[in-house]
Amino acid sequence: MLELALRGSKKYWLWLGFLSIFIVIGFAFYIKQLTVGLGITGLSRDVSWGFYIANFTFLVGVAASAVTIVLPYYWHNHKIYGRMTLLGEFLAVSALIMCLLLVIIDLGYPSRVFNVLLYPNPSSILVYDVIVLNGYLLLNLICGWTVLHSYYKGTSSPSWLKPIIFLAIIWAPLIHIVTAFIYQGLPGRHYWLTAIMAPKFLVSAFSSGPAFLIILASILKKVANFDIGERAFQSLAKTVTYFFIAFWAFYLFEVFTAFYSGIPGHKAPILYLFVGFHGHAEWAPFLWTAVILAIVGLVLLLIPKTRKNETTLVLASLAVFFSVYIEKSIGLLVGGFTPNPFEGVTTYTPTFPEVMITLGVWATGFLVLTILYKIVLEVEKRRILIHS
């Protein structure tokens, strides 16, 4: 089936070429990072994780969100997602490839990465994260590829696939819960030490992921004449709306707990992110952007007229996507490391090489996504030809 990705229009190849430029630039900067060390990033003794892990965390959510399509389709026989499941599964595959790349890029000593398999520490959450992320990648590849292959052959999916699909459904929330546990079990990191971290991660994933799928599906409709159908768009829009409300509600619960209790440690990160702490408010413009995007997105999603209009729905989805992206990536990381263990502020700004390496990873993800979607579209085309 892979050969289907080798034939395409001029636009298809131009897009792949465009992505490749970013991959090459990112890779060149990564070579520099390998020789110089992580010193080329803006990270420091006090803010020891940054842009890489921020993007990683967000993308784990995108990967987990495939379940919002797969579960209704396979568990509740939600037929209108028929043309969507493969898009969801392959989005998960691309997001997971980005996640794994980002984790390896963030390592100080990447050549020793297999020490995690040689000497795994059973009490380290990171070990479990390696297991669930790789497992989920494998499950989605198996499920997506097998279903696609049976479409290609014109047969129905093999019966052994059913249990694997159900396993993937159960597995999806796990990847995000385990990723939340990386943060929420650390003593002394006030912003992260909260039991609502895992649920907040899940609802933010289940809003930003389907929002991203709405955007992707709308692009496919324009450039590839592949329509998931009006009802599928609307069904996704409802998923986005409910989970997005839950996401900001959970955030406000955190704000209530911090400020009503008045505990300085709990207030400090929120103050730093939104209004300033010890005279520092480097990320406040970004966090307020997230809030404004959230309001815009919610208004567009809650008014039936704008939700049902595809253009405004795509705008709302973009707002949701970037709102979650800001809060859950850079906001989460900088908030967790500020204030530092001495209740002071060490500022962090990603450097140019850091941003370019991350962009390279995103370009790689989009390249994988494009190739996988291209195969799906070609198989669909053939299916329609045979049926007509």
Residues 122-141 interacting with another protein (rule: CB under 8 A): 123-127, 130
Count other Cβ atoms within 10 Å, centred on residue 80: 17
Helix (H, G, I), strand (E, B) or coil at 176: helix
| Nearest-approach distance from CB 103 to another protein, in angstroms | 8
Q: Of 21 and 36, which CB lies nearer to another protein in the complex structure? A: 36
Site for another protein in 260-279 (CB under 8 A): 265
Q: Which two tokens stand for residue 150?
A: 């049976």
Contact flag: residue 292 with another protein (CB under 8 A): no
The residue among 43 and 298 lying less far from another protein, judged by its C-beta, is: 43
Residues in the interface with another protein (CB under 8 A) total: 45
Tokens of 53: 């892990």
Cα(52)–Cα(330) distance, integer angstroms: 9
Minimum distance, C-beta of residue 107 to another protein, in the bound complex (Å): 5
Nearer to another protein, 312 or 340 (CB): 340
CA 160 to CA 187: how far, in whole Å? 44
Contact region with another protein (CB under 8 A), list: 12-20, 75-83, 143-151, 342-350: 342-350
Using CB under 8 A as the criterion, what x/- string covers residues 15-54 for binding another protein? ---------------------xxxx-x-xxxx-xx-----
Report if residue 355 touches another protein, rule: CB under 8 A.
no
Q: Which stretch binds another protein (CB under 8 A): 104-112, 152-160, 207-215, 271-279?
A: 104-112
Name which of 83 and 189 has its Cβ closer to another protein: 189
Which is closer to another protein, CB of 46 or CB of 310?
A: 46
Q: Any idea what the Cα angle at residue 206 is, between residues 49 and 293, rounded to 5°?
A: 75
**HEC sequence for 188-216:** CCCCCCCCCHHHHHHHHHHHHHHHHHHHH
Residue type, 125: I
Q: Does 222 bind another protein (CB under 8 A)?
A: no
**Sign (positive/negative) of CA torsion 114, 117, 119, 120?**
positive
d(CA 327, CA 331) in angstroms, rounded, equals: 5
Nearest C-alpha neighbor of 300 from the set 317, 283, 287, 276: 317
- What's the distance, CA 171 to chain centroid? 16
Residue 153 in the binding site for another protein (CB under 8 A):
no
Closest separation between CB of residue 272 and another protein, Å?
Answer: 14
CA-only gyration radius of the chain, Å: 21
Residue from 110, 154, 158, 276 touching another protein (CB under 8 A): that is 110
Asked if 198 is part of the footprint of another protein (rule: CB under 8 A), the reply reads no
> Tokens for 302?
């809650």
Question: Rounded CA gap, 265 and 258, in Å?
Answer: 8
- 3-state SS of the chain: helix, strand, coil percent to 5? 80, 0, 20
Restricted to residues 158-187, the positions that interact with another protein (CB under 8 A) are: 182-183, 186-187
Q: Judged by CB under 8 A, which of 17, 188, 262, 285 binds another protein?
A: 188
Which of 107, 219, 292, 299 is the binder for another protein (CB under 8 A)? 107
Q: Which residues of this protein are in contact with another protein, per CB under 8 A?
A: 36-39, 41, 43-46, 48-49, 106-110, 112-113, 115-116, 118-121, 123-127, 130, 182-183, 186-189, 265, 336-337, 340-344, 346
